[in-house]
Amino acid sequence: MGQVLGTPDYMTPEQWENTHGADARSDLYTMGCTLFFLLTGQAPFADEKHSSLVGKMKGHTLDPIPDLQAARRKAVPIVPSWRTISFPTTSTRCIASCCQRIPKSDSRRDRNSRKRCSR
């Protein structure tokens, strides 16, 4: 039986499927999840539906990345000082681009992330 290495809230779909399948694109996905956490106070799949290890795996491999703006609005009552902080929609596009689920044979995550995050 193989081992799964990583923090479930930030693991890429490739890592869930095959630990050895992770490459540099996995770093972009994890960076997108980390930015999501920094802007909302919670990981992308940290809700009730994804509370178990299997739920997190399904979230990262099957579900769309949660809407950053909605998660941010939900987090504002928890951290009131965030009301005065705004961020551009470029951030949303950048994070969504980083968190794309792309087949291993395709390098779109890398290309799209660079293009969207450089705007």
pLDDT class for 34, splitting at 50, 70, 90? very high
Mean pLDDT of 59-85: 77
Which pTM value belongs to this model?
Answer: 0.72
Residue-range domain boundaries for the chain:
8-117
Between 75 and 111, where is the model more confident? 75
3-9: list long-range contacts, CB under 8 Å, 24+ apart: 8/53, 8/56, 8/57, 9/33, 9/37, 9/43, 9/44, 9/45, 9/46, 9/56
Query: Widest CA span of the chain, in angstroms?
Result: 49
pLDDT tens for each residue of 43-71: 999 889 999 989 998 998 888 888 888 88
Q: Which CATH number fits domain 8-117: 1.10.510.10, 1.10.10.10, 1.20.120.530, 3.40.50.300?
A: 1.10.510.10
Residue 79: pLDDT over 80: no
